[in-house]
Amino acid sequence: MGCAIMESEDKNLSPGFVQNAVGAYSEGAPDRKDLLRLLAFIAHKIDTTPEKAWPIQHGALEYISIAFKKIADGTEPADRALGIAKKRGRPNSELTKQKHLFMATDVIVLMDSGTPLLDAALEVSEKYHISEGKVQDAYSKFKGDAAILRKIRTVLDRER
């Protein structure tokens, strides 16, 4: 994967250039073009420096190189290129996860008694006052854990 920005730039940046680019960044007044050149330079150095010369594992450097190329080429924003982008939407609370697990377990209980999935989802949706689609989503996401919870419930019910 070539880095377009490095194709037109020289392959070496002076220590003064690097110091100025990082200094401006540290002071909160970064020059976007200079930082893109710096990212491309780092990616190029990672790709062309022998593995033994790096003080950290080459796999980590390869990750950085790929991410920096994507950032420098403008193909992805930094957080996505680095794989640290936050997921969109509101995160599920533990209470919501627990509710979804219980819904999935109720679907499994109904299915174990011979009720088809769609009918079980409809019945559970009425019990929890939630749409069938959300019940089916909960079942899809938590069916493995729900099956285990179902078995635990069965054992506990036998002991009573």
**Residue-level pLDDT at 140:** 92
Same domain, 13 and 77: yes
Q: Does residue 102 fall inside a structural domain?
A: yes
Q: How many domains does the chain have?
A: 2
69: closest CA among 50, 44, 51? 44
Token couple for 155: 């054992």
Same domain, 21 and 67: yes
Helix axes 32-48, 15-26, angle to 10 degrees: 130
Report how far residue 22's alpha carbon sits from residue 4's, in angstroms, rounded to the nearest whole number.
Answer: 22
Q: Does residue 44 fall inside a structural domain?
A: yes
For residue 102, what are the domain limits? Answer: 94-147
Same domain, 114 and 64: no
For 30, the enclosing helix (H) or strand (E) is none
Last residue of a domain, one of 81, 108, 133: 81
Tell me the pLDDT tens digit for each residue of 117-134.
999 999 999 999 999 999
pTM: 0.44
Q: Does residue 16 fall inside a structural domain?
A: yes
Q: Does residue 28 fall inside a structural domain?
A: yes
Same domain, 11 and 75: yes
Q: Does residue 152 fall inside a structural domain?
A: no
Report how far residue 136's alpha carbon sits from residue 128's, in angstroms, rounded to the nearest whole number.
Answer: 13
**Banded model confidence at residue 59, pLDDT cuts 50, 70, 90:** low
Sign of the C-alpha dihedral computed for residues 97, 141, 92 and 100 taken in this order: negative
Q: Does residue 159 fall inside a structural domain?
A: no
For 147, the 3-state DSSP assignment is helix
Provide mean pLDDT across the span 79-102.
78
